[in-house]
Amino acid sequence: MNLRIVTGDWNDVREDAQRLRVEVFVIEQGVPIELEWDEGDEVSIHAVAYDESGQAIATGRLLPDGHIGRMAVRQSARGTGIGSQVLKTLLAEATREGHVELVLHAQLHAWGFYERHGFVGEGEEFMEAGIAHRRMRLKLR
C-alpha cells in the first residue's frame, strides 16, 4: 500500500484527525463526543496516515509531556501495519523532541500491539471513557 504520513499541529490536521477519531472512538466504540476533544489537541504533534487515494486512514498524537494518545485506525485498514507506521512516526518525533520516556493508556484489546513496539505495562487495569485500559511505558534511551 502506498502510504503517506503527515505530521503537524492541530491546525494542520484537524479536519482529517477529527473525522477519523469520531468514526473510531465516538461511533464505533461509543465514547461520548464531549470526552473526545480536549486541550491536548492544541499542544500536540499529530500524525495522520493517508492511503493512495488521499483518504485519511490512521491518526495519533504526542503530547508535550511524552504521552501518546488518540491512536485510531479506520476499521478497513486494521491489520495492515498502518498503525505501526503511525506509532513509529510518533516515536521518531518524540526522539527528535528529546523525550527519554513515553507513556500511553492502552485499550486492553490493543495491549499486544504496543508490547510489540517495546511498551511495558504497569499498574492495574482502569476505566477511561467507559473502556478498560492499562498504562504502558517505553524508555527511549
The pTM score is: 0.95
Cα separation, 24 vs 31, in Å, equals 9
What domains does the chain contain, in order, with CATH numbers? 4-139 (3.40.630.30)
Cell numbers that stand for 91 in this block: 516515536
pLDDT tens digits for range 71-96: 999 999 999 999 999 999 999 999 99
One-letter amino acid identity for 4? R
Which residue in this structure is represented by grid cell 480536549? 38
Cα four-point dihedral sign 114, 119, 125, 131: negative
- pLDDT at residue 1 is higher than 80: no
